[in-house]
Amino acid sequence: MRSNDNTQTGFEFPCDFPIKVMGVAENNFDALVVEIVMRHIGDINEGAVAIRPSRNGKYVSVTVTFEAQGQHQLDELYRELSAHDRILMVL
């Protein structure tokens, strides 16, 4: 018997979930992150994306907050983000 997502993760789905993605600040990195996230969640709400450059401007973090529907969705999103060669870290 398969357990539901709530007991496996401690999260109660659906829930607001922020995902932070870091990479080199060049070639529209923020647009890349948003494009990948949208493939997994659909549309992104206005104000859901926060962009923060590093102190020296070489790196950037993009945080997207969205309503996660389940652990499988999060796993697939993390898998695609982590596999991309321009993405250095996913939190």
User: What are the sequence ranges of the domains in the chain?
Assistant: 10-90
**Dist CA 41 CA 55 (whole Å):** 31
Nearest Cα residue to 84 out of 44, 42, 39, 51: 39
pLDDT of 2 over the 80 cut? no
Domain 10-90 matching CATH 3.40.50.720: the answer reads no
DSSP the chain: -PPPHHHHHS--SSEEEEEEEEEES-SSHHHHHHHHHHHHH-S--TT-EEEEE-TTSSEEEEEEEEEE--HHHHHHHHHHHHHSTTEEEE-
pLDDT of 3 over the 60 cut? no
pTM value is 0.88
pLDDT recorded at residue 8: 59
Summarize pLDDT for 26-84 with one digit per residue, the tens.
Answer: 999 999 999 999 999 999 999 999 999 999 999 999 999 999 999 999 999 999 999 99
